[in-house]
Amino acid sequence: MTKPRYHHGDLRAGLIEAARRLVEAKGPERLTMSDASRAAGVSTAAPYRYFADRDALLDAVALEGMERQRHAMQAGGDSHPPGSDAAISAIGLAYIGFATRERGVFRLMFSLTRTHARHPQLLQTGRATFGVLLRHLAQRDGVATDDPSVLARGLKLWTFVHGLSFLLIDDKVSAMEIPLDLPATVADATRRFLRDD
């Protein structure tokens, strides 16, 4: 058994991890600093050494989530030929898979109103995530990632997987009693958005 130490070791990371678990268990809006502190084994004032306020801790949880989601998407794309329909579908499925595995964190990632002004790192990470998709689309057509047609297709694909993620984590699909073959649906949408006519 580990002795309770005055100094935590890495409290910042410990708090982010504790907060991540709590966000997942009870939803972002139910997270309290008290709970996070208790879970990390410190007093309620300790977090303020590392995070300006509650929102700053949530920002950190969101950022960490964005990075994990991006890695999942990267891995999904890498397991298929670059720029192929299969690769692009896999990226979308990885996006949705992250959302459904980590509803709380995913919801948090997209509930930070006007957060970009407050925390440019979140914007940067968001761009990197979108870039995973853009690179495959650009490769497919042999153009640059900021080509207007790549951006337009990227937006439509992102829109679709983003929307489906939300409908799934809000249980709308089941509430409306809609049968769903997720991989087939994502593949279908990918094919429809990528065809030229």
Partner DNA sequence: GCCATCATGTTAGAAGTTCTAACATGATCT
Partner DNA sequence: AGATCATGTTAGAACTTCTAACATGATGGC
What does the binding site for DNA look like in residue numbers (CB under 7 A)? 5-9, 11, 31-35, 42-46, 48-50, 52-55
User: Minimum distance from CB of 120 to DNA (Å)?
Assistant: 20
Query: Mind giving me the DSSP string for 26-57?
Result: H-GGG--HHHHHHHHTS-TTGGGGT-SSHHHH
In angstroms, the CA 15 to CA 28 distance is: 14
What does 127 bind: a second copy, DNA, none (CB cut-off 5 to 8 Å by kind)?
Answer: a second copy
61 binds a second copy (CB under 8 A): no
Identify which of residues 6 and 195 has a Cβ nearer to DNA in the complex: 6
Which residues contact residue 156 at a Cβ distance below 8 angstroms, ignoring those fewer than 6 apart? 193
Identify which of residues 45 and 176 has a Cβ nearer to DNA in the complex: 45
Q: Is 9 helix (H, G, I), strand (E, B) or coil?
A: coil
196 binds a second copy (CB under 8 A): no
In angstroms, the CA 91 to CA 78 distance is: 9
- Name the segment binding a second copy (CB under 8 A); options: 11-19, 42-50, 59-67, 182-190: 182-190
User: Minimum distance from CB of 43 to DNA (Å)?
Assistant: 3
Amino acid at site 40: A
User: Minimum distance from CB of 72 to a second copy (Å)?
Assistant: 18
Please give the size of the binding site for a second copy, defined by CB under 8 A. 44
Please check whether residue 133 is in contact with residue 150, taking contact to mean a CB–CB distance below 8 angstroms. no
In angstroms, the CA 158 to CA 94 distance is: 12
In angstroms, the CA 157 to CA 125 distance is: 19
Return residues touching a second copy (CB under 8 A).
27, 29, 107, 110-111, 113-114, 116, 123, 126-127, 130, 148, 151-152, 154-156, 158-167, 170-173, 175-180, 185, 188-189, 192-193, 195
